[in-house]
Structure 1
Amino acid sequence: MTGVTGVRIEAIDLAAWAPQALDVQAVAFGLTPEEVMVRLHIVGRHAQQPGVIAFGAFSAGRLVGFGYGMPNRREHWWSTVIEPYLAARGYGGWLDGVFAVTELHVLPEFQGRGVGSALIRTLTGWSGLDRSILSAIDAETPARRLYRSLGYQDLARAVHFPNTERRYAVMGAPLPLRGAGGPGRVQSAPANSR
């Protein structure tokens, strides 16, 4: 991929790369070992979903970031949680015909270098859909600023997911994402897309 010095974006098999991806997420998101074990099972289930797409960011052969997502389905747990929040604001239609960015994480030492932007552009660019949706911690974080710079807007705020004290924002954007360039150049098509 061009544009991010020393980092290559390429398709990954989500199930095979799940342990390394969770190591990245643990550092980037501050997860405990117990939380990593729970999420490892979730990622394993996600890897089996129809249409899942996953990309990794590599530097010197090491995974330094990853992102994955899939076409959203109303019966997904995530959708059942956010649906009342979206419906209350008139955005219930955002659950249909949209690509859900499920996870996007970059190691701290690679943040601010365009890696996250390249990952999400590549991921959504391969989706084949016209819109993207995601959730992010409802605070002014670098991630929220990145998403806004790409065209994501708040659809719902103060969303409460079970088993967490943090509040989240649900954000949506038309595709392709806003900004210079398009999806990053990748080494190959997604290995696990269906």
Structure 2
Amino acid sequence: MNHVAVGPLDLTARVDDALDVQARAFGLSLEEQRVRRGIVLRHLLVPGARSFGATGDDGRLLGFVYGVPCDRAQWWSTVVEPYLMRNGHDDWLDDAFTITELHVLPSHQRLGLGRALITGLTDIVSQPRTLLSAIDTESPARSLYRALGYRDLARRVRFPSATRPYAVMGAPLPLLRQESRPGRMAH
């Protein structure tokens, strides 16, 4: 693998590249990409929104992550709040940073890019903890999140229009680190 740089990303300028990564990693149709484009651009207007990208030597976007400070009035928070309340975890919606999306091209997964993206992003936020939602199945993504210190706060969360249930996970910041494999990427 060639050199990969991980760092802050102007996601507004690279939104179409990011949605292409998400489509290939997550299986989105062109219509879903069109709808998500507007959603991403709206999220980036939220004060405190941050994004990181992984780019190859050729400038190609290989992965990205973005998020926003959690706000109980945000759509995501209103959906997950009842599930968190049932488990006594709704206080996690206060003073947290929400990871909105994290995707890496399938050809570049399992190389540490997801870890580098999410830790890089959460290292620069001011909140003391972070939240995210992931499909509620045992997957490499969920394993990564657990290795970073995330734990399940609610399971079987149903988002409107989502066909599969999600888990809401939370972790204190900074995220846990592990020994990195030398020579894999630069930060």
The residue identity in structure 2 corresponding to 1:126 is I
Q: Which residue of 2 aligns with 1:79?
A: 77
Which residue of 46, 49, 52 maps to 1:52?
49
* Percent identity (aligned): 54
Residue by residue over 1:138-174, the C-alpha shift from the partner in whole angstroms, topping out at 9 and shown as x without a partner, is: 0011100000000000000000000111110000001
Please report how far the alpha carbon of residue 185 of structure 1 lies from its aligned counterpart in structure 2 after TM superposition: 7.4
Contact 1:97 1:131 survives alignment (8 Å):
yes
**Any gaps of 5 or more consecutive residues in structure 1?**
187-194
- RMSD across aligned C-alpha pairs, in angstroms? 1.6
Greater RCO (Cα-Cα under 8 Å, separation 6 or more): 1
Q: Which residue of 1 aligns with 2:132?
A: 134
The residue identity in structure 2 corresponding to 1:52 is A
Which residue of 130, 138, 150 maps to 1:152?
150
Which residue of 16, 20, 37 maps to 2:17?
20
Q: Which residue of 2 aligns with 1:192?
A: none
Aligned length: 182
Q: How does 1:84-123 map to 2 (within 5 A)?
A: 84-123=82-121
Structure 2 distance, partners of 1:166, 1:68, is 22
The residue identity in structure 1 corresponding to 2:40 is V
Structure 2 distance, partners of 1:48, 1:124, is 18
Please report how far the alpha carbon of residue 181 of structure 1 lies from its aligned counterpart in structure 2 after TM superposition: 6.7
SS in 1 for 2:82: helix
Residue by residue over 1:106-132, the C-alpha shift from the partner in whole angstroms, topping out at 9 and shown as x without a partner, is: 001110000000000001101121100
Which residue of 159, 162, 165 maps to 2:163?
165
Please report how far the alpha carbon of residue 180 of structure 1 lies from its aligned counterpart in structure 2 after TM superposition: 2.9
**Any gaps of 5 or more consecutive residues in structure 2?**
none
